[in-house]
Chains A and B, each alone.
Chain A
Amino acid sequence: MRRWSGKGLGLAGRVGLAAVALLLSRAVVHAQSVDANEPIAERGRYLAVAADCAACHTAPGGGKPFAGGYGIASPLGAIYSTNITPSRDFGIGTYSEAQFGRALREGIRGDGAHLYPAMPYTSYTKLTDADVHALYVYFMTDVKPVEAPARRTVLPFPYNIRATMAVWNALFLDDRRFEPESGKSVAVNRGHYLAYALAHCDTCHTPRNVMMAEMGGRALGGASLSSWYAPNITSDPKSGLGGWSDDDLARYLKTGDVPGKAQAGGPMAEAVEHSLQYLNDDDIRAIVAYIKQVPAIADAADKAPRDTYGKPSDREAAYRGLDARALVRGERLFTGECAACHRPTGTGSPDGYYPQLFHNTAVGAARPDNLISTILMGVRREVGGHTVYMPGFGSGSYVDSLSDQDIADISTYVEQQFGNPAVRVSAEEVTLIRTGGPKPLIARLGAFAVPGMIAGVLMLAGAALLVLRRVGKKP
């Protein structure tokens, strides 16, 4: 499950993206210095990939490109993506460029209704006029109209009143174009633009306040995403990516895999699969340059970088041949369920296809969320035409369907052997992740506060303002 961006992409989408990749091999794109000879639509296509529009607007399992209908899991309920093909009846065929830009940057549809911020308009608002134009030309000329309506979004009251979003926007939408920072290199500025206006890294990696708006003071400092956790990617050497080499970071973005260090799973795997792998090397390098200088945010809980924990295990020498009952439960489960691929030593396969468990960012993290989610849901990542796949061990698993206690015991064992020994996992934590992860306050409020909130939109807005100010006053 992915929150507010990204998802499994259907075959049609993949074919489309593969076509894009072919085009990209000769299209080096610079948004701010447009090559006059470059076809605008082609540049728009690249931008659409960089912005990962298809992630949400192309339904998985063979949905037609950009026809919408994909249910994006939000804490408030499923938000269905819209048809953004140039269909005049069901899509955006009647949009003027101004209307298109407003939807992109302000979250306001052609008919004046508000979009939910599942659409990352708070990011796209930073797009340059030239890029909005290119996207418009691409969608209107190169995308095939799909003459079918996408499923409607129906959220529970009060969130079904889209006008509330006007209040939200007034509070949280910083409706300004991107402006290069003086004193920063061209690459850093380019990377900043790509990371925010297009790839919208912040959508997942920046924590949100009680009203689900990004907390600017903790930009890219790490945030919970339903079952997954988007880690701190600031330049902090312990809590963030400060210790990563540029090459490793670039490889990670391009492939989702740095053997012996980090593998993308969940929503990040989708971002790599659908978007990042198709970015040209200059743009990848620019994002790396930007990420490496994002102001550090340190978390006192992080005693060492995530990729420095653990070492190979020699435990098989001690337990082989023993009755299972002589082993602690986590070890017994690990050797039976995990060691076939990750090997008893935790080194994985020599070619790196089956990942090494020690010095692994998911295992060394202070939070076990991504370890638990990986065990529960597995990993699927299609890069360069090949699928990297780890089966999940949740319900209906092809390997074994494990209980919450099983996964807690395995996780704790893996943390002790290969990861952060301070991390212990309880069955309750696994239950929480299995059922969609921690719910933000606003979602929990919805269930209890709705009956009392009959005063409607204005009262809600007032309450929200009040809550926000109180939160803001806390040190």
Chain B
Amino acid sequence: MAIPEFSTTGDVSADVVVVGSGVVGGMIANELASAGHSVVILEAGLRLKRAQYVENWRNMSFHNRLHSDFQGLYPQSPLAQAPLYFPPNDYVGLSGPNGSAFKQGYLRTVGGTTWHWAASCWRHLPVDFEMKSRYGVGRDWAISYNDLEPYYCRAEEEMGVSGPHDVSLQSPSERSRPYPRDMIPFGYGDRRVAEIVNPHGFHLVPIPQGRSVEPFGDRPACCGNNNCQPICPIGAMYNGIQHIDRAEARGAVTIAEAVVYRIDTDENNRVTAVHWYDAERRSHKASGRTFVLACNGIETPRLLLLAANARNPNGIANSSDQVGRNMMDHSGVHASFQASEPLWFGRGPAQSSCIVGPRDGDFRSRYSANKMILNNISQVAPATEQALKLGLVGTELDDEIRRRAACGVDLSISLEPLPDPDNRLTLSKTRKDPLGLACPDIHYDVGDYVRNGLDAVNTQVRQIAGLLGGTELRITTDYNANNHIMGGTIMGTDPRDSVVDGNCRSHDHGNLWLPGGGAMPSASVVNTTLSMAALGLRAADSIKADFEKGRV
């Protein structure tokens, strides 16, 4: 078991230095530690226990819970801020026509943002890798679906994904291995809606999920307590912390509250070290042979820009000037209505089924695809707010809460933005974090491709609500963020217009990998985590190959 070496002053040296301890950093650390390499993981945020998050959530005010304050329960290191919205801390400065659509909720904490995800483990479609070739919009990836497919399988196995063994329910169905576990069983609402809408061309499928209804190894079974977001109280849902734990059992060392701010490069532009501030603002150095930045789609480009040095005056890995550009997220809308019969959403895990009919089609040359998640988060809190606003009391109040909770439907709809270099993360000239490091600014415009896609969404939603006897149908008119941050370190074959290659290795620095959402050149409409994990595992393989071939 190889272990990083620490100096008396707290500097460290290891074969592999990983910055960021989320799902991608954790998986890579685990892969490389398993291969016998010494690994140090630097994480800007705190390391706390699940139980504390659980209790913080239960202790939150009704209003915060009602409006999904998924950030506030995660205590932040005073030196490593992340976005907060209750009230807003304006850590990320937003501008542009749809700046408000980029209010991301990511965590800077050991284990990363999958602490409060809902464990949707989607694959991109094969065609999503060839948007330019097939539909004449966006960009092609530097790799094909087939190149990534084995890594999708591995990522699903690492995360213990339950997905449909029935091929007709798979999206996509191009698979070399079955899901590790069959689909999480549908609740009544999923079955009922499928029965009603599918004959009309909608294709409702189970969401592949990083949880299971029987124990997965030592991971407990999901008990459907409906709190995946913002914290699974019982460890039944995959969280990135699981790979941090595994990596540590194999010798990796995690340093929490380590804010990386500088990157050293040598005459060949290979990275030689990164520097971090500890909780007492003392600076330390982590030297290594290879480096991985997996800090999330906003923090990785921010760090690359912050770390500009004499040889790389526009920022690390940024000879193309593409670092921080092409920022994407599945900008989305919510549709809500009351069905004409009880569907009882809120039983079981918080996400269960999804309409994927409009995921693909020739229309994608003109406007965005979409997917519609049948939100399975308990409707009791919104039902209560509405019933109270009506001024009801006594049994009428109770009945209305029950009625609205049982019949309420919330669709979470994702659209697909195209990579646009003008959707750009830059360093703020005015706002600094407590360490004096520039905060990120982001300019965002969802673009006409998404706007036109929303017209199709409106029609489809009205059809679905009609099928379900819906009343009070409303659709949000501002786009909301979905925390699927992509594009800021975009992948491509040409070093002049992209940041990383098909292995997520930076074009500029032979021993620097930037895996994760930032590398993704197309957004598709599905949650990014599985693709990020697959890219991470692929990067880990290329790092291992470099070690094996003596290239580092």
Given a CB threshold of 8 Å, the question of whether A touches B is answered with yes
Measuring CB to CB, which residues of chain A are less than 8 angstroms from any residue of chain B? 320-322, 324, 332-333, 335-337, 340-341, 349, 353-354, 380, 386-387, 389-392, 396-401
* Residue B50 lies at the interface, judged by CB distance under 8 Å to chain A: yes
Measured CB to CB, the nearest residue on chain B to A380 is B215
Q: Which residues of chain A come closer than 8 Å to B233, judged between CB atoms? A: 340
Interface segment, one of B54-62, B119-127, B172-180: B54-62
Residues on A with beta carbons closer than 8 Å to the beta carbon of B242: 398
Q: Which of A390, A398, A400 contacts B219 (CB 8 A)?
A: A398
Q: Given the complex, which residues of B lie within 8 Å of A380, measured CB to CB? A: 215
10 residue pairs, one from A and one from B, having the closest CB atoms: A336-B51, A340-B233, A398-B235, A399-B235, A389-B215, A391-B220, A336-B55, A337-B51, A400-B49, A398-B219
A389 neighbours in B (Cβ, 8 Å): 215, 220-221
List B contacts of A335 (CB < 8 A): 51, 55, 58
- Neighbouring B residues of A340 by C-beta, 8 Å: 54, 225, 233-234
In the bound complex, how far is the Cα of B54 from the Cα of A467, in angstroms? 55
CB A319 to nearest CB in B, in angstroms, measures 9
Kindly state the separation between the CA atoms of A354 and B221 in the bound complex, as whole angstroms.
12
How far does the alpha carbon of A238 sit from the alpha carbon of B234 in the complex, in Å? 35
CB <8 Å contact, A324 and B223: no
Q: Are B55 and A397 in contact (CB under 8 A)?
A: no
Inter-chain contacts of A400 with B (CB < 8 A): 49-51, 235
In the complex, the chain A residue whose C-beta lies closest to that of B248 is: A396
- Bound: A339/B266 CA distance, A: 54
Q: List 23 A-B contacts (CB under 8 A).
A: A320-B58, A320-B59, A324-B52, A333-B51, A335-B55, A336-B50, A336-B51, A336-B52, A337-B50, A387-B221, A389-B215, A389-B220, A391-B235, A396-B218, A396-B249, A398-B236, A398-B242, A399-B50, A399-B51, A399-B235, A400-B49, A400-B235, A401-B245
> Looking across the interface, which residue of chain A has its beta carbon closest to that of B237?
A398
**Interface flag for B214 (CB, 8 Å):** yes
Q: A398-B218, A398-B220 are in contact. Are A391 and B52 (CB under 8 A)?
A: no
Chain A positions within 8 Å of B235 at CB level: 391, 397-400
Known A380-B215, A387-B215, A398-B235; judge A336-B220 contact (CB<8 A). no
Q: How far is the CA of A337 from the CA of B249 in the complex (A)?
A: 22
Question: Are B219 and A391 closer than 8 Å at their CB atoms?
Answer: yes
Name the distance in Å between A400's Cβ and chain B's nearest Cβ. 5
Known: A391-B220, A396-B245. 12 other contacts (CB 8 A): A324-B55, A332-B55, A335-B58, A336-B51, A336-B55, A340-B54, A380-B215, A387-B214, A387-B221, A398-B242, A399-B50, A401-B245
Q: Across the interface, which residues of A come within 8 angstroms of B49, CB to CB?
A: 336, 400
Residue of A nearest to B234 (CB): A340
Q: With a CB–CB cut-off of 8 A, which chain B residues contact A321?
A: 59
- Contact surface of B with A, Cβ cutoff 8 Å: 49-52, 54-55, 58-59, 214-215, 218-221, 223, 225, 233-236, 242, 245, 249
B-chain residues with CB within 8 Å of residue A354 when the two chains form the complex? 223
Q: List chain B residues, Cβ under 8 A from A336.
A: 49-52, 54-55
Q: Contacts A336-B49, A400-B49: A391 and B234 contacting too (C-beta < 8 A)?
A: yes
CA distance A316 to B302 in the complex (A): 43
Give min CB distance, A9 to chain B, whole Å: 15
Whether B219 lies near A322 (C-beta < 8 A) is: no
For B52, what are the chain A residues with a Cβ–Cβ distance below 8 Å? 324, 336
**Closest residue on chain A to residue B214 by CB atoms:** A387
- A324–B54 alpha-carbon span in the complex (Å): 12
Most buried by A among B51, B233, B234: B51
With a cutoff of 8 Å between Cβ atoms, the chain B residues found around residue A341 in the complex are 223, 234
Minimum distance in angstroms from B231 CB to a CB of chain A: 10
Please give, as numbers and ranges, the residues of chain A lying within 8 Å of B221 by CB-CB distance: 387, 389
For B220, the chain A residues whose CB sits under 8 A away are: 389-391, 398-399
The answer to whether A399 touches B55, judged by C-beta atoms less than 8 angstroms apart, is no
B50 / chain A contacts, CB cutoff of 8 Å: 336-337, 399-400
Residues of A within 8 A of B55 (CB): 324, 332, 335-336
Task: Tell me how far the C-beta of A62 lies from the nearest C-beta in chain B, rounded to whole angstroms.
Answer: 14
- In the complex, chain B residues whose CB is within 8 Å of the CB of A391: 218-220, 234-235
A354→B236 CA distance, assembly (Å): 14
With both chains docked as a complex, state the minimum distance between the C-beta of A334 and any C-beta of chain B, in angstroms: 9
What residues on A are CB-neighbors of B225 within 8 Å? Answer: 340
Q: A293 → chain B, closest Cβ, in Å?
A: 39
CA distance A348 to B273 in the complex (A): 52
CB closest chain-B residue, reference A340: B233
Q: Roughly how many angstroms separate A386 CA and B213 CA in the complex, as a whole number?
A: 11
B236 surroundings in chain A (CB, below 8 A): 398
CB nearest to B48 among chain A residues:
A400
**Closest chain B residue, CB of each to CB of A332:** B55
Tell me the complex Cα distance, A199–B314, Å.
Answer: 75
For the complex formed, measure the closest distance between the CB of A404 and the CB atoms of chain B, giving whole angstroms. 15
Q: Are A399 and B234 in contact (CB under 8 A)?
A: yes
Contacts of A333 in B (CB 8 A): 51
> Chain B's nearest CB lies how many Å from the CB of A395?
8
Chain B residues with CB under 8 Å of A322's CB are: 59
Residues of B within 8 A of A337 (CB): 50-51
- A397 to B246 alpha-carbon distance, docked (Å): 11
- Smallest CB-CB separation from B56: which chain A residue? A324
A431 vs chain B, min Cβ distance (A) = 20
B249: A residues at CB distance < 8 A:
396
Least CB separation from A324: chain B residue? B55
Report how far A337 CA is from B219 CA in the complex, Å: 15
Q: How far is the CA of A380 from the CA of B236 in the complex (A)?
A: 15
Q: Kindly state the separation between the CA atoms of A401 and B111 in the bound complex, as whole angstroms.
A: 14
- In the assembled complex, the Cα of A397 lies from the Cα of B51 at a distance in Å of 13
CB distance from B374 to the nearest CB of A (A): 25
Q: Which residue of B lies closest to A389 (CB)?
A: B215
Identity of the chain B residue whose Cβ is nearest the Cβ of A399 in the assembled complex:
B235
Closest CB-CB distance, B249 to chain A, in whole Å? 6
Q: In the docked arrangement, what's the CA distance between A320 and B54, Å? A: 12
CA distance A349 to B59 in the complex (A): 22
